[in-house]
Amino acid sequence: MGDINHKKLTDIIDNFSSKKIAIFGDLMIDKFIKGKVRRISPEAPVPVVEVKEEDKTCGGAGNVASNISDLGAKAYIISVIGDDTASTEIMDILKKKNINIDYILSSKNHKTIEKIRIIAEHQQIARVDKDHILKYDLKIKNQIFSNLEKITETGIDALILSDYGKGLLIPETIKKIIDICLKKHIPVFVDPKIEHFKSYRNVTSITPNVMEAFGGMRKIIKYGQNEIEELGEKIVKSLNLKSLIITQSENGMTIFENKGKIKATHIPTRAKEVFDVTGAGDTVISTLSLAYSVSRDIITSAIIANHAAGIVVAKLGTATTNQEELKKEIKSWTIQ
C-alpha cells in the first residue's frame, strides 16, 4: 500500500471535524418495527409479529447526512419533502443530529417518502413502501438552484449526489449541479442510479456496485475481476471521471484512478461479519467524500471508506460509524 500507514489514516480522520459536506438528494423516513414471532396468523400463512420496539431514522440523503454528522463533520442537505407528518418527523430527526436543514424545501404537492421495515428475531421479514416521485414545477426548480448557489458560497468542501431515483435528480439538475461545482472547484461524489448513469460526467468519483456499473453501461452483469476492471476503465473514459469505485460486497472494492492513464487498485473487504448491508453504500460515499476533502487522494480515501463499511455491515439496520470506532478499526488493521 505504498506510503499508507496507521498514523496517516488516523490523522485524516481527526481532520473530519473541520469539514463541511453538502448532500443533494432524495429524502425519506425509515421506520423500523421490531418484535417477536410466537405464532402464525389464522388468517393467512404469515407470521404474527408482537411489536416490542419502534424506531425512526432518516433514509436516502438523510442517512448520508447522518453518516457525515456522526463522523464529526458538518452536513447540509438540499432536498424537497412534503408538507405532512412524515416531513415533520424527518426535520425533527435531522435537527437532533445537528444537520443543517436550511436548504430543504417543503411542497404541498409532494408527499414524503416512507419505508417501513418489519423485523422479527433480528431478521427483516417485510418492507412496506410509501413511494412518491417528485414532480418539478418552475417554482421548485428555481428554489432548488437558488439553494444550490447559496450553499456553494458557504465554503463547502465537497458535494454528494445521493440519487435514489425519486425524481429530485434528473439529467437537467444533475448537469447543472456538476457545472456549478466544477466552476467553484468543489469535488462532486455520486451514489448513482442506473437510469441516470451516463449523466454523471466530469465528477470526482462515482461509487456504483457491480449491478449498477454493468447496468449503467447497458451490459450483461459479470462478476469476474478481469471483466470488472475492463468495464471500470470504459466507465472512466466514457464519463471523463477523475475516479471510479466499484463496490463488490464481500469481495471488497476496486478503485480506478484517472491521472491521464487509468490505474485499477483492488482492496479486499474489511467486514468480519455481515448482519445487514442496509445503508452501506451511504457510509462508503460519506466517508470517501470526507477523507478526500482532507487528503485529496482517492486511494487513501477509499481505504478509509472500506473500513467504515466493514463496521456498519456488522450492525443491524441503517447504521453509521464515528471517528473513534473508525480509528480503532484502522489501528487493528495489518497493512500489507
Give the residue from 120, 73, 115 showing the smallest Cα distance to 308.
73
- The residue behind cell 431515483 is 165
Cα–Cα distance list, 251 to 45, 63, 102, 179, 300 (Å): 37, 24, 39, 34, 18
- Is there a catalytic annotation at residue 282? yes
CB 57 within 8 A of CB 30: yes
Name the CA dihedral angle for 272, 275, 276, 281, rounded to a multiple of 10 degrees.
0
Single-letter amino acid code for the residue at 259: K
Give the residue from 77, 118, 65, 126 showing the smallest Cα distance to 286.
65
Strand partners, 188: 159
DSSP reduced 3-state for 248: coil
**Of 3, 55, 282, 297, which is the active-site residue?**
282
Q: What is the C-alpha to C-alpha distance for residues 242 and 159, in angstroms, rounded to an integer?
A: 15
- The residue behind cell 437532533 is 96
Catalytic residues, which ones? 282
